Structure 1
Amino acid sequence: MADTIFDKIINRDIKADIVYEDEQALAFRDINPQAPLHVLIIPKLRIATINDIEPEHEALVGHLFSIARKIARDEGVADDGYRVVMNCNEAGGQSVYHIHLHMLGGRMLGWPPFTDHPKSQG
């Protein structure tokens, strides 16, 4: 299986503005931010889609959300609020087949990007 852009970031083949790293995960600023704070949080283990998450991955996926909480506190958006989104497959907006959380804070800039869907009521 060919490396994704996220594999290349994990391996340091591509530079990224890393805001968090541990043995299991990496978080970095999105190069095309949709909000004042837009961080991608990825596991170092490549899992292609949400559909590929197995019971043995549950702790790892939960860890990604704990990282989001930490980054929100560190970046000063925890009290005001932030959004965490994970897309699945092409129709769900996924473009890199390596699961990842989009963590967005501050005033949202047109997120979600689906303009043909009705706006959510909360």
Structure 2
Amino acid sequence: MDIEQIRDYCLSKNGVSEDFPFDEHTLVFKVLGKMYALISLKKWEQGEPAINLKADPEYALELRASHSCIRAGYHMNKKHWNTLYLNEGALQSDFIKTLIDHSYNMVVKGMPKKMQENLKNI
């Protein structure tokens, strides 16, 4: 997947916005204000495409063990975030989308019930 495909997919999810809260190089996707995906535009420009995604801690470890291009989240909480290095492995588009979905769902699951209900009405 290229960066535009990932961006479009991330933005297609309910209640999602994009922002640059840290600097002009770090694109952040949020669901109702909560981060679920980060992309370093600088790394993409340098030919090192990667995306940070949230994951269930046990699943995060499982992914790292089974895919050398998935490692503990770069500049993130290593327990809850993974970085997918997209030029190092043969991660299929459908699998990347599945991991984006998992990240989104993890964030939504952690929201108060009222926020989850608001999300359904958007």
Which structure features the higher share of strand residues?
2
Q: TM-score, normalised by structure 1?
A: 0.32
More helix by share: 2
Return the structure number with greater relative CO, CA threshold 8 A, min gap 6: 1
